[in-house]
Structure 1
Amino acid sequence: MTIKQKILLRLGIIYLMFGGLVLVILFELVKLKIFEVSKWEDKAKTLESSSIVIDANRGNILDENGKKISLSVPSYRIYMDLMANGLTSEVFNAKIDSLAICLSRFFGDRSVSYYRNDLIRARKNGERYHLVHPRKISYIELQEVRKFPIFRRGRNSGGFIPQQYDERRLPFGSLAARTIGKLYGDRSKGGMVGLERAYDNVLKGINGVSTWKRIAGSWIPEEEIPPHDGKNLITTLNIELQDVAEQSLLHQLQLHDAHHGVAILMEVQTGAVKAMVNLHRSAPDVYIEDHFNYAIGEAVEPGSTFKLASMIAALEDGKVRLTDSIDTGNGAYRYYDRIMRDSHHGGYGKITVREAFEKSSNIGISKIIFETYRDNPRRFVDRLYSMGINKPLGLEIKGEGKPVIKYPGDPSWSGVTLPWMSIGYEVKMTPLQILSFYNAVANNGKMVKPMFVKGISQHGKVLREFEPEVLNPSICSVATLEKVQDLLKGVVERGTATNIRNDVYQIAGKTGTAQIARGISGYQGDDGVEYIASFVGYFPADRPMYSCIVAVNSPSNDVYYGNVVAGSVFREIADRVYALSYEKLPPEETKPKVTEGVFPWSKGGPEDELSVIFDELGFPVQSRELNTEWVSTLAMEHAVKFRPKPLPGSLVPQVKGMGAKDAVAVLENRGLKVAISGVGRVVRQSIEPGTPIKKGQTIVIYLE
């Protein structure tokens, strides 16, 4: 045999071997697909596995005292596996009548024959997950259903499948419902609104997984990853104070047939929101909480409550004194093509700045701002911005309305913007933003972010505590603060809100009555002009503990003034809260004697002016005779010491530590132009001290 023949023989053998292997494989495939299909299907049934998600228990939402204000309550729907391995025809046929009787009696809405026929049909169709009844049942009812014929055999032998659903419940009904929020029906979507949404990741926990394998007709647990329950949310809300606020507001809304209303109660020092009410008219005399969070989301023109910001600006810039006179005329005043009016018929005539604020004179306040800032409106708006009222509060609850305070140069800015802005028009703020501003005045100038949550807990242990967040450490100087605090007291003692004055404790605040803008149609709607009546303030005025705002939208019956509609709600809330919180009031402050402790710090300035001030206050001064015009001060333990502050004429002087007035005087006397940034005392200057002076050069001084 030649070499070629040997090679061909070997290749032939290899081809035959591969051909035979292919035939064997084809034979096994045909055998498997046609002749043994039933055998392997039966085998597969004995090896089925199933993974079941185990829902984590959602955490509770608690009020500040630990009362549950939102919690999960389990409910169940009953399903049935009509093809369960242990559910034989003998068992099913013997007990189906008894099961149908029990179901009909339990649910009480369908006949025995209906349930019997329905289950027989489902078994005939081979249904593995048949809904027995759409109604959800409680845990106690579940225990009763478990005892029904067939069901008592369990899942494997009776096909009984209870499906658990967690339903969110509010034990106190509508109280704070909008603030608490709610969930979608599908829990995977998380919180829908309010705190439920804001803290969904904290509340929902982590789901577990249970894996089951079916062997020889029985389900055997194979592996389980346990769920991690959600944590509890400890809010700042007080359900008792929430009830007080809601009942007080509800009564007034019904009395005046208003469209909706808001009431917010806040703790002054921390910004903790104790109560937040949002009531909306759903039917005559019927008001519900579950509609929209007006307190957070509705930014509108605030009207006269904004006059406080205007007064702070004018006082802070030293443009006006409370004793100055201003002529408000006969109650009508023209700005270009528009006429501004006071609510008092015939006007107030010539009054002081203090009276203009306390009586809420539109003309008085607008003339102060217009005459002061007409040539430099940016200065006015910059002052408002420095208070921080143009910025959102940055709340964790979604949907905060954006504050709008126009800036000169804005396309909508016009000649009448400045006077109308000064009285709360052509600006927008939400009730909570306005309250936070007034709360800062009560809190000695410190603006804090409203708090809704004070901590997170689990199994009775506090895991995390939240601290107050400062948004602006000082909205204005101490001197201005003391003046406007006095003005707010005057509103209640002598001004537009004397109807809420009382002899037990003092209230400080401001009324507001604002027309509601209707877009391009102005303020005139189909039913005439509508109003928002509001009152915002704090109490007790001498030791502020709580601040509060009440706003009532579209009151009818021809009564729409803030002092009557909103002020009376404020007074009712304040009375009841004061009675509940009297023992918690901080002690009255006592001023230390001048002989105690370290003496007060003061800005540097002219020696003769500082001497007059310290002599008037009774503070001893050291080193008076320095033969220098300008001095700096040093606070010592038993006296204030003057130190010389040389100001050479040919060099840029050191003005650090001076107030704006003195610094400007010194620099301008040396031929420099001065630009000011900030409020307070000089902490930095753009041109270094000792630099040769160039006449007409601009120097920027930075104040804090």
Structure 2
Amino acid sequence: MPIKKDIIWRVGAIYIMVLLIAILVVVRVVVLQLFEGDKWRSKAQTISQRDVVVHANRGDICADDGRLLASSLPYYQIRMDFRASGLSDAVFRANVDSLALKLSRFFKDKSAREYRNKLWNAKYHTKSNRYVLINRRRINYNELKQIKKFPLFRMGKNKGGLICEQENKRVQPHIDLATRTIGYLLEGEGKRHVGKVGIEGAFESELKGIDGISLMQKMSGRWLPVNMVDPKDGNDLITTIDVNFQDVAESALHQQLIKYNADHGSAILMEVKTGAIKAIANLGFDSETKTYREIYNYAIGEATEPGSTFKLASVMALLEDGYVGPMDSIDTGNGIYSYYKEKMRDSHYGGFGKITVQEAFEKSSNVGISKLVYEHYKNKPRSFINRLYDFRLNETLGLDIRGEGIPEIKYPDDPTWSGVSLPWMSIGYSVKQTPLQTLTFYNAIANNGKMMKPRFVKELQYHGDVIQRFDTEVLKSKICSSETLKLVKNMLEGVVLRGTARNLRNTSYKIAGKTGTAQIADNNKGYAHKVYQASFVGYFPADDPMYSCIVVINRPNKTKGFYGNQVAGPVFKTIADKVYAMTYSMHPVKDRKDQSEPKVPLSLNGNKKDLDEVFDALNFVVVNKEIPSRWVMTSRKDSIIEYKYRRVKKYLVPNVKGMGIQDALYILENAGLKVTVRGIGAVNSQSIRPGAYFKKGDRITIGLS
């Protein structure tokens, strides 16, 4: 009996225990279904499903004619899945030697035996033998097509184990052409590369596109796509850069940097009417490679003391306020003048003596310009600074590209202001400007006073269709009066015709501009160690400007040269000459000659009395015959000849175009000019613009054809 009770008790205990377990299981099932169902269903889904980001293709950056400046190209890393379903021992052993030989010949970094050992060990002696990296080198698409023909790999992913990991790489086909302005990509969140510099950074949102998402389902041990939101490719950017002009600018700058052992330099070419940047070159000396390359965007980011190119603003202030005229005089003495304890010097030894305001500008007299500014503004320096602010020289340009240098023009209440601030600022010291800011100011002069915002991108395209055009933007509609513009244009032409940039003159077209030679601070050593910056900024053709350009070369070897006309000027001239040669719209169009026989002969402009005698003898009808002018211009229509005034004013260069050599020489020499004649026929060009001020004894060249 005790045994029976013991058995019953044990069976009962087991029964109760099983019952309790069953109750717990039921309760747990209810909890899972009603309360934790969503949680566990979600977890199960994450194990069997996952979202994979499908990256959009980044848009291209193109030159103004559509040529690629930056594009994303696919590159691949080769891996091998040694657990691929079709990669049996028999198949592997039959092909491993051939594959090793092919890999050795393709990558040329290891012998065939080394590759065979690597493949064999990965197959049989490595615990984790899935997706083994074959070679670290990334290959392009054409190379990938070759590799896909190798033994084993030609069998495909599942049978041969070939795994191709694609990675898009940003490349610039023209290598170093405007590379800092185009920009580059840096690693961002999730190891995704994003634009941070230059145009790549400024237009990151337009270039990057919109990523897609692929829903992957695990089926039979394999991940397969079941749904997908397609990515949207990035837009293409069409820039204002002209590849041909860019190549010219970089080549000319590079040669001059080498010639003068300079530290770095920049050159910018801008379209006058639109502000479009057609070329922008930045080259610095790389001490590691001992070559010049694009290290930094000096044109946009480096604000330095501009030196004499700033004198244009000083003269414009004087003219705008009515303090001086071009023919007013200033005594520069022996070229040395003291402001308190500081001495101002002219680069011309012995000074220029007493000269006109125009000559002071053309010859870049530090003493002349500073004395004029100091004399008229010393008791009201705020008026001078306010005028510079009116020219918008104290403001940034608001570029889309990051990193613009900050201009500096201090106000008289600045703690660092002193008695010598005004004269030194007047010649481009104690102020700071970037090359692009200086060029924008000069471009406004060429553009009849309208200051344009520099523009790097002209339109956005999506798969060839234009989706947005970027209009020109005006920063200031008029920076000064029309009268001041007329006077300073004449002065800028005079710099090339008679002043510090005479070496830039040519017979094909006119250049207007200003040289600059500034002694800059040598890092922490200050000005004690003489370091220079040479520059030239201007526009061409001066008669009808199409392009403006600036060249700045920093720290040339002073034993070889450091003046602006000598170091920077030739780069400007090379760029201008080649741009002129490549731009047919700048060449004067010659009218086609009328094939029909004219009813009256072609007459040259000249002395009215002589022309009257000829036309009376030939019995021709002359309109305006009674005009009271000693010199006349003639025009013909059918059988009629018409006279027009040809005024000759004192101290202004006469217009002798269309005259014969006898009359032209008579007028010019009686006016006080020394004349050089080139060619035969009628006068078709003169080296000094009609109406310009001149000094008795100046030389003028007239061209005949």
Pairwise same-fold verdict (TM > 0.5)? yes
Q: 1:244 aligns with which of 225, 243, 248?
A: 248
Supply the AA of the counterpart residue of 1:74: P
One of 478, 483, 489 as aligned partner of 1:474: 478
CA distance in 2, matches of 1:346, 1:354: 19
Q: Secondary structure at the match of 2:186?
A: coil
Q: Deviations over 1:24-48 (max 9, x none)?
A: 649999xxxxxxxxxxxxxx99985
Amino acid at match of 1:565: V
Match of 2:575 among 563, 573, 576: 573
Do the aligned residues in 2 keep the contact of 1:202 with 1:230 (CA within 8 Å)? yes
**Number of matched residues?**
559
Which of 115, 132, 135 is the aligned partner of 2:134?
Answer: 132
User: Is this contact kept in 2: 1:545–1:585, CA < 8 A?
Assistant: no
Partner of 1:458: 462
Report the Cα distance in structure 2 between the residues aligned to 1:46 and 1:143, rounded to whole angstroms.
36
Letter in 1 for 2:573: R
Provide the C-alpha distance between the structure 1 equivalents of 2:288 and 2:94, rounded to a whole number of angstroms. Answer: 58
CA distance in 2, matches of 1:132, 1:426: 61
Give the distance between the partners of 1:496 and 1:573, measured in 2 at CA: 19
How much is the aligned-residue C-alpha RMSD, in angstroms? 2.9
Q: How much does 1:58 deviate?
A: 1.7
Aligned-partner Cα distance in 1 for 2:175–2:355? 51
Give the equivalent residue in structure 1 for 2:292: 288
Cα displacement string for residues 534-587 of structure 1 (whole angstroms, at most 9, x for unaligned residues): 110001111010000011111113411111111111111111111111325699
How do residues 184-583 of structure 1 correspond to structure 2 at under 5 angstroms?
184=186, 188-282=192-286, 287-518=291-522, 521-525=525-529, 529-556=530-557, 557-583=559-585
Question: Which residue does the alignment assign to 1:71?
Answer: 71
Q: Give, in whole Å, the separation in 2 of the partners of 1:395 and 1:541.
A: 27
| Offset from partner CA, 1:155-194 (integer Å, 9 cap, x none) | 3343321011222222222221221122236772412421
Gaps of 5+ in 1: 1-11, 30-43, 589-704
Match for residue 664 of structure 1?
none
Measured after TM superposition, the shift of residue 50 of structure 1 is 5.3
Contact 1:47 1:215 in 2 (8 A): no
8 Å CA contact 2:461–2:467 kept in 1: the answer is yes
Report the secondary structure of 2:133's partner residue.
strand
* Contact 2:214–2:228 (8 Å) recurs in 1: yes
CA shift, 1:283, in A, is 5.5
Range with bigger deviation, 490-499 or 178-187 = 178-187
- Scaled by the length of structure 1, the TM-score of the pair is 0.75
Partner-residue secondary structure (3-state), 2:185: coil
Partner of 2:167: 165
Superposition deviation, residue 442 in structure 1: 0.5
* Contact 1:176/1:289 (<8 A) preserved: no
**Cα pair distance change 1:393/1:18, threshold 3 Å:** farther
Q: How many angstroms apart in 2 are the aligned matches of 1:323 and 1:18? A: 118
What letter is aligned with 1:534? Answer: S
Q: Give matches, 1:595-610, under 5 Å.
A: none
Instruction: State the TM-score, normalized to the length of structure 2.
Output: 0.75
Percent identity of equivalent pairs: 54
Partners of 1:46 and 1:150 in 2: CA distance: 34
Gaps of 5+ in 2: 1-11, 30-43, 591-705
Q: Following the alignment from structure 1 to structure 2, what is the Cα–Cα distance between the partners of residues 374 and 46?
A: 78
Q: Residues of 2 paired with 1:272 and 1:47: CA distance?
A: 55
**Retained in 1: the 8 A contact 2:286–2:293?**
no
The letter of the residue matching 2:168 is: D
**Structure 1 residues 427 and 235, CA gap change in structure 2 (3 angstroms):** same
Query: 2:598 aligns to what?
Result: none
Contact 1:56–1:229 (Cα < 8 Å) also in 2: yes
- Secondary structure, counterpart of 1:174 in structure 2: coil
> What is the CA–CA distance in structure 2 between the aligned matches of 1:433 and 1:555, rounded to whole Å?
22
Secondary structure of the corresponding residue to residue 132 of structure 1: strand
Report which stretch shifted further, 216-225 or 473-482.
216-225
Alpha-carbon distance in structure 1 between the residues aligned to 2:292 and 2:263: 11
CA positional deviation for 1:306: 0.2
Taking structure 1 as reference, are residues 302 and 586 closer, same or farther at Cα in structure 2, changes over 3 Å only?
Answer: farther
* Partners of 1:86 and 1:217 within 8 A in 2: no
Taking the aligned partners of 1:225 and 1:90, their CA distance within structure 2 comes to 42
Amino acid at match of 1:117: N
Aligned to 2:59: 59
2:413 alignment partner, SS class: coil
Indicate the SS of the match to 2:300.
helix
1:158 is matched by which residue type in structure 2? G
1:686 matched to which residue of 2? none
Output one character per residue of 1:259-280: Cα deviation in whole Å (capped at 9) or x when no partner: 1111110000100000011111
